[in-house]
Amino acid sequence: MKGKTSFPPQEGAAPPSRCPDNSAFKQQRLPAWKPQLTIASVLSSFFLTGAFCLTVGVCLVLSANSVREIQVDYSDKCSDCSKLRENSSNWNKKCHCSVNFTLKEDILGDVFMYYGLQNFYQNHRRYMMSRSDAQLLGRNVNIQRSYCAPFSTYRNGTPMAPCGAIANSMFNDTIDLFYNYNSSVIRVPLLKTGNSWWTDKNVKFRNPKSYNLSSAFAGTARPPYWQKPVYLLDKDDERNNGYVNDDFIIWMRVSAFATFRNLYRRVRRIQQFAEGLPAGNYTFRISYNFPVTSFKGRKHVILSTVVWSGGSNPFLGIAYLVSGTAATLSGFVITGIHLKLRKKKTYFQK
């Protein structure tokens, strides 16, 4: 039988080398730069960082404190409606309540209206995943393969539009603002479009393509907790319906904390409100639909202005102040240690 003949290694032969190639890269001979830390460079970096953080922190805190804001809690004042909504059989019964409040000073500039929820946890993993992004892009997808269950289809197989726990729990109170001027009541004009991010409105959310929305959502049904289908969310503006509805888009951006606020409306600056909200007596008229008693939650409405740094949230400014203080104190500690060691070194040299 013919084949290759193997020869045993000769005695005294050197084993194959496992050393890397003799190149600049593999032998780590590439040119490199290593900073030479001196006491002057270290201390200057600490003090400059501290001065920068303290300056930014003071500006942010002053900016946040300049925001005008008023918050009205209507959980207790609408207790009768809350009890009515706790019984699911009363879903089709309307309930309204009013909350009066007073502005002691004018709120000048652009005024934003927010609704706030307390003790409502949106950061649960299953809750956050309970959505279909492909469906929200207007695609024809099989939502039974998504994470929307159990809010994906009804027992008869009809798919929900939109599906998922996030959409099903959408905030649906209707809040109107009235200004009590002398003996008359003036409705404050509110803008309900233009409140969502441009990327959400034009990239992440799209309606199915069809000649009208009712035919686009044919064969689907509203989520169980909704009172009307998705293509009728805004009866006054057809362009604000379906998956591109501003209120729906804002609600689908879940919060990381149990207490949060979402933008609801903006005051339209016309007539008596051209400069903002004048001082006086106001009334919130609320169509109560969103129950919170079962999870011991609370609801409130916020009227607020914004500045270049955002709303009335001093957290970022406080964080900069703490960081700047820590850097400055560290610089002083290092300076003291250096002076002490230098004094000892000078003493021993003598």
pLDDT tens digits, 287-331: 999 999 888 999 999 999 998 888 888 899 999 999 999 999 999
Structure confidence at residue 130 as a pLDDT band (50, 70, 90): very high
pLDDT tens digits, 105-117: 999 999 999 999 9
Q: Does 37 score more than 60 pLDDT?
A: yes
CA 55 to chain centre: 27
Question: Residue 200: what pLDDT?
Answer: 92
- Dmax over CA atoms of the chain, in Å, equals 117
In a domain, 51, yes or no: no
In a domain, 234, yes or no: yes
Beta strands in 190-339 (DSSP E): 190-191, 260-267, 276-277, 280-287, 298-304
**Residues forming beta bridges with residue 101, ordered by sequence position:** 282
Domain that holds residue 97: 56-315
Q: Does 1 score more than 80 pLDDT?
A: no
Q: What is the mean pLDDT of residues 109-135?
A: 94
Q: Does 10 score more than 70 pLDDT?
A: no
In a domain, 42, yes or no: no
Q: Which residue is it, tokens 């809040």?
A: 175
pLDDT tens digits, 38-88: 888 899 999 999 999 999 999 999 999 999 999 999 999 998 998 898 887
98/169 Cα distance (integer angstroms): 24
In a domain, 26, yes or no: no
In the chain, alpha helices (H)? 39-65, 79-86, 125-129, 133-136, 165-168, 198-199, 213-216, 246-251, 315-349
In a domain, 181, yes or no: yes
Question: Residue 8: what pLDDT?
Answer: 59
Instruction: Record the pTM.
Output: 0.81
Q: Does 171 score more than 90 pLDDT?
A: yes
Angle CA 130–131–136, to nearest 5: 175
Question: Residue 308: what pLDDT?
Answer: 86
Question: Residue 9: what pLDDT?
Answer: 56
In a domain, 139, yes or no: yes
In a domain, 30, yes or no: no
In a domain, 349, yes or no: no
Question: Residue 232: what pLDDT?
Answer: 93
Q: In what order do the strands lie in the sheet with 280-287?
A: 96-103, 280-287, 174-181, 184-187
Question: Residue 14: what pLDDT?
Answer: 65
Is the separation of the CB atoms in 231 and 216 below 8 Å? yes
Short-list 200, 132, 196, CA closest to 168: 132
41/180 Cα distance (integer angstroms): 64
How many domains is the chain partitioned into structurally?
Answer: 1
Mean pLDDT rounded to a whole number for the chain: 89
pLDDT tens digits, 220-276: 999 999 989 999 999 889 899 999 999 999 999 999 999 999 999 999 999 899 999
Q: Does 134 score more than 80 pLDDT?
A: yes
